[in-house]
Structures are given as C-alpha cells and as structure tokens.
Structure 1
Amino acid sequence: MTAVTRRGAFGTLAIGAATAAVPALAAGPAPEPWAKGPEGQRKADLGNGRFLNPILAGDHPDPSILKDGADYYMTFSTFDAYPGLVIWRSRDLVNWTPVMAALTTNIGSVWAPELIKHQGRFYIYIPARFPDRRSTYVITAENIEGPWSEPVNLDLPKHIDPGHAVGEDGRRYLFLSGGDRVALSDDGLSTVGAVEHVYDPWRYPADWDVEGFAPEGPKVLRRGDWFYMITAVGGTAGPPTGHMVIVARSRSIHGPWENHPANPVVRTRSAAERWWSRGHATLVEGPRGDWWMVYHGYENGFWTLGRQCLLDPIEWTADGWFHAKGGDLSKPIRMPGGERVPHGMALSDDFSTDRLGVQWSFQAPGGNETARVVRRDGALVLAASGTSPRDSAPLVCIAGDPAYEVEVEIEIAPGGTAGVVLHYDRQLYCGLGFDEKAFVTHQYGQERGRPANPHGRRVFIRMRNDRHIVSFHTSGDGRSWTKFDRQMEVSGYHHNVRGGFLALRPGLYSAGTGEARFRNFTYRAL
C-alpha cells in the first residue's frame, strides 16, 4: 500500500501500513486454537468455513461499515488517539487489513463516525469534542486511500453519532442522537435549516438493568419500499445487560416510524454470556447476498480491551422485518463468503523505515506531536515532552489479546526519562520507566517508587499483561533478565471505573529533557 502524506495540526506525517514484525519472543503458553492468528489480532477466520467473533479484536467501537462493489470498508471511534479514524478493508467481512488513518488534524475526542460513499465520493462524518466545545465535522476524499480533506465544521454542538441517509426526495440528511435529524446541502459539507426531532425511540421495560436510555448511533438503510432506522439504547457500558439494538421503519424518510414488534433485536441478556453491552449496529449486505450486522461489545471480564467489533448474521422475514441469528455470538458462525485478504496488522516495529506504522497513535496529544518523532539508525527517536505518562502524550497501539507481552530497548539522553506504559488516559495508567539513576514505577496513574537503576541510560524492558496481571523484566544487554520487584493487577483500568470509553493500550513514553531512542519493539500474544 502506498503511504499517504497529509499536513494538519500534527505537522507532516507519512501514514502507511504497519512495519514488518521482528522475530517473536521465546515461546509461552499456547493460546486457545481459535485465538491463534496474526500478531496483535486474534484470528476470527477458523479456516474451516466458519469464524468466531470478534472480527476485529481490541478497541474497535462504534463500527461504521460501507459496501463499495466487492469491497467493504470500516472505521471506528478513535477518541483521544491521533492519527485517528483508521480505515480497514475486507472482501468477506471477516478478514480485514488496514488501509490508512484518515484523520490527523486534532478536532478533539472522536465519537462514532459515519463512513459513506455518495455519488462517487467518500465522506466521514465525525462527532468530536474538546472539554470546552464540541461539534460534528466532515472530511472527504475521491479515493479511500486519500488524501482526505481537512475537517469542515458542521456546527452541531448538541448531538453525536451522525447517520447519513438519502431520502425518497433525493435530499441528504444526518440522523442524530436523541431521535433528531438535520438536512444537508447537496455537497454534504453544510447543514440546511434547523435540527428537528423526528423519532421517539422504543423504550425497554423499566425493570431491566441498563446504564440509561441514551438513544444514539442511528443508522438508516433503504431496502425495497422501506427505510429502516437501527438505533442503540440502554447506554454503551455500565451493566453488561444495558446496551441493545432497536429497529424502526417507515415508508418515507420523513416518517412516521413504526417500531419493530420484537425490539430489541440484539441484547446481552445475562452477564454469563461471552459478549457484554452489545449494540451500535449497522446493517450490510454480504458477498453472497445475505445480510449481516456489525456492532460492538465488551468481552466478558475484559472491559480493559475496550469495545470489540462483532459480526452477526440476520434474516429478513416475510413481513419485511429482520431478526438476528447469531445468538450470544459465543459459537462459530458460517463464513459470509467472498475473497480473503490478509487479516490484522503487526504491532511489532523494528523502526527500520521512515514511516510511522498505522498501528501507532499519540494518546491525548497536544499540538505538533509528530514533530517529536524521527527515525534514525534503526531507532525511533522520540523527543521528550512533559514529566511523566500523564502529560507526555505516549505513543500507543491497540492490543486485542487478553494476554501478551511487549519488549523494547530504550536509550535516554541526559535529563531524560522513558519507558513502557499501559495507558488508559492521563489519570489512569501503569508502567515502568527509568532515568540515569533510578527506575520509575507508575501505578494507578501515579508515581509509586524510584528504586535504583543499575543499567544507566540504556535499558531493555519487557512488560507482560497476562489477563490483567502485569509484570516487568529488565536487562542491561537484552540477554540476562531480572524480574522487577513490583507486579500489578489492572482489571479495573476501564470505563466503568474511570469513564471516557477508552481501552488499556500498551505504548512508549519519553519525558523530561532531550530524547529517547527505542529499538526493536516486539509484541507477542501469549
């Protein structure tokens, strides 16, 4: 894939495919057979004509999917991570490969985008918020691989989760959270008129355990004589039984909307199920002409991995409605068919190219973060920023495995501090760093101790997250390793504790003064 260069608030950045993986670490416990797949991405395709969810493991929430001929494209909420809005491509709905990151200009925390194609042009509608303001933006491109335009502000400060639709009148609309809607101009780059309320969503029984009503994520599909609106209600986290998918339909884009008699069509009914808080669905036609839903869910016991992307078969019924066929999605499902593409992406990086791999993003970035990055002599050189992971905008990636370890060689300049981190947000993270004289232990988003560092300014660090038990090993030469005398338990580093809808991501940080050099970042699922 050709790298695409864009200029935005983060400076000039080459965004391309992930760099080649470096050799694997020493063998560990064998994973479950279904989980064994490409590095950093559990394998959905079982190789026997069946697949097992998730189709994209790790933090891939609020999926927006587009069918374009034989190709499928999908993107997700990326919240505080930049570059953001990584676009993925598939031909069978199960095997996915990254194309590029479409958004480099920082417009705030990105929530529930909408990827569409209209009259030969691609659009992504993007709700985003800073602490003091929020709106919905749009970026466009003639080619899915870019270049993508700079964001255009649609001035919608009170809504999230846009869903694009074209009515029987030929006009374009954005359906919004809360059952609201606004008309768009013909070019889709501005709104026309005021926001109007058009739908009162179906309500669940009062005795159900949910986070809150919160109607959001409306997606509108036209099929035959009907427009179908698929909406999420119940809150996206909180109790595992909260989030759900509801459906309404109308003969006209203008309503009235009739609720599905069997709502909700998808819901986690018990905390014993494998997938919790299932919701935020989009319908798509499969390669064989059958139909599917993509939506997100938390894995039972692993809120830390974020909301993962799930694929559920549906069946249309004679009365013009549909129902979901996948049940609780804990069992293998027949493959949709279609051509397979390479699945997932390598998270390991030997830093041998001049391109920032698409697996990397800055968490909670400030201004021109990419100006801090240089590739030099087989190393990633990251200029120091801030004093700790709290304010240094760590460089992180999405882990999709319940158990994994990362290893990296780090060399710091005088006055610098650097290390590895498991980062949720600025207030909640853990990790291990070092300066010239001492290790720096991070836990609960705080510095917890500075024991002596016998290795000086060059240290190898191995961090293992084994189903929420985190441990570290250190070495001065990469051959002889010593277990660090502090282990951690991180199952509480997630949204239901901290808020923010994020996930726990492994990464690198460089703070203090000067710069840090990182060599041979290696990721391995356990």
Structure 2
Amino acid sequence: MSATVENPILRGFSPDPSLLKVGGDYYLATSTFEWWPGVEIYHSVDLVNWTLVAEPLNDPARVDLRGVYDSGAIWAPHLSYAEDQFWLVYTIVKSATAFKDTLNYVITSPSITGPWSKPTFISASGFDPALFHDDDGRHYFMNMLFDHRLDHPGFAGVVMQEFDAKTKSLIGQRRRFFPGTSLGVCEGPQIMKRNGWYYLLCAAGGTGYSHASTVARSRNIWGPYVLSPWQPLISTKYHDDLPLAKAGHACFVPGPNGDWYIVFLCARPLTPHGNNPLGRETGIQPLVWEDDWPHLANGTHLPDQTVTIASAPATAVQVLDHSQAIVFDQPSLPASLKTLRQPLGERASLTARPGWLRLYGRESLSSLDAQTLLARRWQSVQFTAETCVDFTPTSFQQLAGLVLYYDTANWAYLHLSYDEELHSRYLQLEVADCGKFSYLSEHLPIRFTGPVALRVQVDREVARFAYRQAGAAQWQVLATPYAADHLSDDHIKANGKLAFTGAMVGICTQDMDQHRSHADFQYFNYQED
C-alpha cells in the first residue's frame, strides 16, 4: 500500500498548517487572514486528498474583522483534541506598527463541523497560539512573545502558562521557557509528546526565503529544551534552485501503520527567490525517528516535490486540477468563493434574478469594511477566469467587473462603468500597484446593450484581459498586458510593506454614491491550463 503525492497538497494561499489525527481521520487547519469565513479546516483519511469540511469563524456577531488591515486579522490557527472535543486557538491581529495588537481566542466543538462555541479571549501577549493537552490531565497554552520595546527584539521567544479547560482561562504564572534559535524570529510554537519526551516545534527565520522549522526536546514540559542535531528540521534557506521554497511552520503526526508525516508551509516561486503569486501553500513529507529525534525521511532538511505516502491505499489518486465552473442556479454559493472581512449578507442574492447572482454595490476596492467582492484563490499560475455581467450603471461611481486581487493596494480590475459625457457604458482596466493607481487600457465605450463577457488569462508573470458582447464569437483582447506576478508578498515586500496572503480572482461591484445599484453575474469559471 502506498500512493504518490505531488507537493503542495493544499495549493494556493493555504499557509500555517496545523495537523491533527483523531482516530483514522486527519484534520488540517490553515490561516485565512482578512478573508471570510475565518480558518479553513480540511479532512483526509489517506493524507493524499483533502476536502474542506469546516470554516468555524463564520458568525460576524462573534468575529468582527471590519477595519482590520491587509494581511492582518486571523493568523496561524492551532487545532487539537481533548476531553471529547476539538479545540481551536487563533489570533486576530489588529495592528502592525512598533506595536502588535494580537488577540488570542479559543473555541471548541464536539464535532469538526460544529457547532463551535463562542470565542473566549485568552491573552494578547503575542501571536501563533497553541494548546497542549498532557496525559496527566493538565492543559497548557503557549504563543510567541511580542516585545514592543524599541531597544528589544520584537520576537522575544516562547511563553507558556497552564490553562484551565473548564473555565477556558489561564492559571498560574506565565513563563518564558524557550528563547528561540540562531535562525531568529521564533514563532509558531507547539508541543507534542512521544516516549516520555516533550518535543517543541517552532517556526523560525521569518516568512520569506529564510523560513525554517526547528525542533527541541525535554523530559520536563517547562524545559530546559535541547535542540535537535537535525537542525533545522526543514528549510530551503540555503538553496536557490528547488521547486519548493520558504519551507517552515510545520506540524507532525503519526500515520496509521507506525509511519510519521510532517506538513509544512512552502511556496513555488516563478523564478529562484522571485515572485510567488500563489502565496504560501501546504506540503507533506515522510518523517522518521532516530535516537528519539525526528527528521525528514530523505535524510536532509529539504522537502521533496514528489513523496510517497506509505500508508495510503494504492487507489488514492491525488486531484491536481482545481478547475471549477460556477453557475448561479444553486441555493447557496460554493465554499471556494470568499469575501473580505465579513459575509456579503443582503449585498448578494441568488433569488432576485433566478439563474444569476445579483451583487449590490457598496464600497471601493480600497475599503477595509464593506466591499462587495467574491473571489477564489489562484491554485495555478496558468489559468483562465471568465464571467458574464449584466450591468446598467447610471454614474461613473458605479462599477462592476472581473478582478485579480491581492489586497486593497494591489489589484487589476477590468470594470464596466458609465461615461456621463458620452451617455454610454464603458470598459477600462485599472490597476493598483503598492498603492499607486493607473490605467492599463483606453476608455473603451460599449455601444451595445445587455450582458458583457469578461475574461482574464494568466500565464505565469503575465495576465491578459479581454471582453466581448455576450454570445459573440470574437474576444477583444486589451493591448497592454498586466504584470500578474506583482500580486505576491515578494513584490509587495520589495516595495516596503509586509504581506502574507496570496492572489485571488473574482467578481465585484461598487456603488460609491447611494449604495443602491446592482450587477447580475451569470457564471464564474476558473479553468487551469
């Protein structure tokens, strides 16, 4: 029994994996940042194919992300199981200056699909929280410690405190029990226990090309912890030519037959140390134990693009093509479509015009509050996305169309609007690049009435937009291509701002006047090449 897997196993913007085994089931939680619903939890029985089964932060009355900055909001969830229920801890990050407001919460559920409890605040001393449930019935809460003092390192090691599972509150004294390693930027702590050893797994080196994971062990949960001779456990820091880069932020669990596996954060840059619009993804690697130390089964700290899952049935075939054709004739929207910071609620209707999705315009693509936008992650750097929109604007402040989106300061938007001098609809491609706005097309009057089909073809570094009258045979391709690789944390970081998500493609509408106009979308197709 075995199956071959191509990394990554979660493709496109799926960072900070937290892996949990309960019986014969595996659950994998990932970060969602400002995208709604918050936290994605995937399920697998074979470690080969993963199905989204839960998005537990889905109630705006309990989780308020309005106004939270780009790449803030929900960071690094940690999933665990104890006392016949699932435990999920996560951070909502609300500021990013010399200070970080990092609010850590816990929710629980008897089932992975919910219902999940109301969030309980635990602490705000740092981000990347985790719970450890010891076999003596005690529980512990840990996170990286953030130090705002200007004359101290911001990443100040790992702190831990005993946790009362009944009251969901901290008890005893907080202790700083691990300072980090020479790789720096110690974060993402989590503890597991095996053969009487406590193993502390941490991320290190930041989120870029120096990223790594380290492991240390102790006979006492409070330490002292001794670093592994396999240091780092996983990293691509010293290698420029691998298909997987930025490896780190890991988590490991046993397989069903005595085998072990590690899931880890990784990325697939278009060029060595270049831009990566797919963002940080999740990979898997076999793990072995030697002298009670874990290390990669390949004998190095480098992840493989192709791995063998020894315990998986040979019939398990990995799904690598994530193409999707969405028609809006169902009672609900597919889970692949995400919104920003809150659900659309009454801004979207599947019944106002049967067979179409009606979106009501609200705020601009620069808004940190009520955008009317639905988007899905890129899962390949070669794809075509297409939609058909029926939209009759009456003001230049009303827009609707097709968008490639990273965050409020980075996007490319082919939109319909209204020219009040020509008394005509028009199309135009506008882009935002690190907060600088420009047009990449002429002002294109649309003389026909009725729906307009919009398309974008992404081919690695280049995207080309096109349009046509609905039903027409010929696409009109816009002359100027768009630099699609600019929708990446690498490009944004090179221009002075940190970013942690990934590129999305979607449909949206705005009414920056009276918030009354609407646009109807007939379909939204995503086809990987």
* TM-score (norm. length: structure 1): 0.84
1:418 corresponds to 2:400: yes
2:37 to 83, 86, 91: 83
2:411 to 425, 429, 435: 429
Alignment deviations for residues 346-375 of structure 1 (CA, whole Å, 9 cap, x no partner): 643111112121111112x3x563221111
1:518 corresponds to 2:482: no
Amino acid at match of 2:348: V
2:242 to 253, 266, 273: 273
Q: What is residue 168 of structure 2 aligned with on the other side?
A: 189
Match of 2:221, SS? Answer: coil
Match of 2:168, SS? Answer: coil
- Mark the CA change 1:511 to 1:456 in structure 2 (over 3 Å): closer, same or farther: farther
**Shift, 1:188, TM fit:** 6.6
Amino acid at match of 2:8: P
Give distance in 1, aligned partners of 2:287 and 2:213.
13
For these two proteins, the number of residue pairs brought into alignment is 465
Structure of higher RCO (CA pairs closer than 8 Å, 6+ residues apart): 1
1:324 corresponds to 2:293: no
Q: What is residue 470 of structure 1 aligned with on the other side?
A: 463
Q: What is residue 378 of structure 2 aligned with on the other side?
A: 399
1:249 corresponds to 2:217: yes
1:225 corresponds to 2:207: no
- Mark the CA change 1:95 to 1:107 in structure 2 (over 3 Å): closer, same or farther: same
1:123 to 87, 90, 93: 87
- Mark the CA change 1:187 to 1:450 in structure 2 (over 3 Å): closer, same or farther: farther
Q: What is residue 337 of structure 2 aligned with on the other side?
A: 360
Equivalence map 1:122-201=2 (5 Å): 122-131=86-95, 133-154=101-122, 156-167=123-134, 169-177=136-144, 178-187=157-166, 189-201=168-180
Contact 1:50 1:333 in 2 (8 A): yes
Contact 2:191 2:201 in 1 (8 A): yes
Give distance in 2, aligned partners of 1:341 and 1:98.
17
Q: What is residue 185 of structure 2 aligned with on the other side?
A: 214
Give distance in 2, aligned partners of 1:311 and 1:146.
27
Q: What is residue 39 of structure 1 aligned with on the other side?
A: none
Match of 1:497, SS? Answer: helix
Amino acid at match of 2:13: D
Equivalence map 1:44-123=2 (5 Å): 49-104=3-58, 105=60, 106-108=63-65, 109-123=73-87
Match of 1:310, SS? Answer: strand
1:260 corresponds to 2:235: no
Gap regions ≥5 residues in structure 2: 66-72, 145-156, 419-424, 493-497
Equivalence map 1:309-388=2 (5 Å): 309-317=282-290, 319-326=291-298, 327=300, 328-338=302-312, 340=316, 343=319, 347-363=324-340, 365=341, 369-376=344-351, 377-388=354-365
- Mark the CA change 1:442 to 1:168 in structure 2 (over 3 Å): closer, same or farther: same
Structure 1 runs (4+) deviating above 6 angstroms are none
Give distance in 1, aligned partners of 2:363 and 2:467.
24
Match of 2:377, SS? Answer: coil
Match of 2:444, SS? Answer: coil
Contact 1:107 1:130 in 2 (8 A): no
Amino acid at match of 1:84: G
Match of 2:491, SS? Answer: helix
Match of 1:84, SS? Answer: coil
**Shift, 1:457, TM fit:** 5.3
**Shift, 1:413, TM fit:** 4.0
Cα RMSD (Å) of the superposition?
Answer: 2.2
Identity among equivalent pairs (%): 27
Match of 1:198, SS? Answer: strand
Amino acid at match of 1:370: G
Contact 2:234 2:303 in 1 (8 A): no
1:439 corresponds to 2:414: no
Contact 1:410 1:458 in 2 (8 A): yes
Give distance in 1, aligned partners of 2:335 and 2:317.
17
**Shift, 1:510, TM fit:** 0.8
- Mark the CA change 1:167 to 1:337 in structure 2 (over 3 Å): closer, same or farther: closer
**Shift, 1:197, TM fit:** 0.3
